[in-house]
Amino acid sequence: YGESIGSGNDEGWGTAGRAIFAPFHNEEMVVHLGVRGAYRQPSNNGGPHFKYKSSHQSGFKLVDTGTLADTEDIGLIGGEAAVVYGPFGMEGEYTHAMLNRKHGLQDVSFDGFHVQATWSLTGESKAVSYKLSAGKFKRLKPHQYFSLSQGGLGAWELAARYGWVDLNDDNVHGGRAQDFTVGLNWYMNPFVRLMFDWTHQLNNSRIKQAEDLDIFQVRTQLTF
């Protein structure tokens, strides 16, 4: 994140860290736990800006605080967890943001989290792709690549996700929103993936005329 480097783009300074622990990790099962934190002091000529765009790819923002001027500093803490067993997986993240403000303004805090479950219909396991050094899962690798001549199906994965965010506190009214997503992912081979998603969004308190939204999208991802 951030802007281009220049004399008028001083964004202040900050630091961040993350620690992970995986008590179980093999090619069949992974249990992953993590904590993270960050601290930032924004520049005098700017302030933080919190927003949430859900999982769709448009520029539409569900909730948005705008620039919060007169912010002294920002603290972020969060946790993450993931469990994979065979073709089934579940993961989630939580983040809490704390803003200390200047000139007698009330300090504010925001919260957000998401949980996601996946099921490989063709039997592949994400445990194989887990990288302990990075603390993350790479993409699913098909047992069989898609091929019309050889009858390969590729890998098919069903996914469901729920997300929630609250950017309202004291006199800051960024909004509160939640969304549900159901998706089908088709990994044709390690380099090509097709994604079919439906997202239903609720409680968009920032834009009253669009409180409930349904978004359908099809995406293609090519990796070289």
The topology (CATH level 3) of 13-222 is Porin (2.40.160)
pLDDT value at position 193? 96
pLDDT in tens, 182-195: 999 999 999 999 99
Among 49, 39, 51, smallest CA distance to 69 is for 49
Beta pairing class for 49-52 and 192-202: unpaired
| Token pair 């090519």: residue | 222
DSSP state of 152: B
Among 66, 77, 148, 81, smallest CA distance to 112 is for 77
pLDDT in tens, 11-34: 678 999 999 999 999 999 999 999
Handedness of CA 117, 111, 215, 194 (dihedral sign): negative
Residue with the larger pLDDT of the pair 156 and 208: 156
pLDDT in tens, 147-183: 988 889 999 999 999 999 999 988 888 888 889 999 9
Instruction: Look over the chain and give the mean of its residue pLDDT values, rounded to a whole number.
Output: 87
pLDDT in tens, 35-67: 999 999 887 766 787 877 666 556 667 788 888
CA angle 53, 15, 115 (to 5 degrees): 35
How far apart, in whole angstroms, are the C-alpha atoms of residue 49 and residue 146? Answer: 43
Query: What is the band of 196 on the pLDDT scale with cuts at 50, 70, 90?
Result: very high
From the centroid of its chain, how far is CA 40?
Answer: 20
How far apart, in whole angstroms, are the C-alpha atoms of residue 55 and residue 195? Answer: 12
pTM score: 0.84
pLDDT value at position 142? 94
